Structure 1
């Protein structure tokens, strides 16, 4: 199986209900790969994942959807060929991470102890290997995932008077 099949499966099954951009799609493909390594003990696909500036990227997926730029992806670039176990992995990832913004996912992929952080170099697109992923904290739920929306709600709850002062200024 290849990464583009996973990407097509995500777009075909979730693009009507959540906004999927190329940046977000690459992170969802990456976390599906991570989940497969952790739960099934095998890579989800054979393609290499590289550490780019904004996190893990599968180059064929990036190229296939690059014409969308920052816009929402609505149409796939080919078939989706996933077995039942692979579909279950993707569904699990989409349930946990699908509603996060692209930048929430970038932040998640950049966290200390993650595979991206261990191999990233601004001068070179290094490969994020299965070994690097398994040695990392990626895909391990530590209960500390905070989204931009959660941070805003937390700020509103903890500083209501400060926000009222700003609102009235």
Structure 2
């Protein structure tokens, strides 16, 4: 099933953080978590996306432009979720397990740590010729499938 990207963003934003010093997720960190959620979903669910929006390669890493703009009022501060905990969307059991694992691993990174990680990976580095280059779902699927070998 394909979800609304804002619903996925809000699901990320209500998760308890495990990284040191983080109280709320910043826009920069949210963008990278959306990227990893999408990438691993594409790899595990035969190229089917978690959400339809394109991801672009920006200077500081992958970005979903509509979500960047939506949360831009927070600048570099932590984002307050748009929903209450009981209003968060439900995923299928397999998607929920994937969501939790991706958040457990990548949610522990700082925004800067995630930026550095994405810069070292092929999907961003292969298209990062300037602000706004699209990281295609095909490129993401191929790359993230290699993470399971």
| Shared fold (TM-score, shorter chain, > 0.5) | yes
Mark the CA change 1:67 to 1:52 in structure 2 (over 3 Å): closer, same or farther: same
1:125-136 matched pairs, under 5 angstroms: 125-136=132-143
**Partner residue, 1:4:** 6
Query: Which residue, 72, 81, 94 being the options, matches 2:89?
Result: 81
Mark the CA change 1:29 to 1:140 in structure 2 (over 3 Å): closer, same or farther: same
Q: Which has the higher contact order (CA 8 A, sep 6+)?
A: 2
**Partner residue, 2:117:** 108
Query: Which residue, 21, 26, 32 being the options, matches 2:31?
Result: 26
**Partner residue, 2:101:** 92
Mark the CA change 1:53 to 1:139 in structure 2 (over 3 Å): closer, same or farther: farther
TM-aligned CA deviation for residue 3 of structure 1: 1.7
Count of residues in Structure 1 that have an aligned counterpart in Structure 2? 140
State how far apart, in whole Å, the 1-side matches of 2:101 and 2:140 are: 18
TM-aligned CA deviation for residue 13 of structure 1: 2.5
Deviates more, 1:22-31 or 1:5-14: 5-14
State how far apart, in whole Å, the 1-side matches of 2:56 and 2:89 are: 22
Structure 2 alignment gaps of length 5 or more: none
Residues 92-151 of structure 1 show CA distances to partners (whole Å, capped at 9, x for unaligned) of 111111111001100110115x201111122x4011111111333687279xxxxxxxxx
Q: Taking structure 2 as the reference length, what is the TM-score of the superposition?
A: 0.81
Larger Rg: 1
RMSD: 2.5
Mark the CA change 1:77 to 1:37 in structure 2 (over 3 Å): closer, same or farther: same
| SS across alignment from 1:30 | helix
Q: Taking structure 1 as the reference length, what is the TM-score of the superposition?
A: 0.72
* Structure 1 outlier segments of 4+, above 6 Å: none
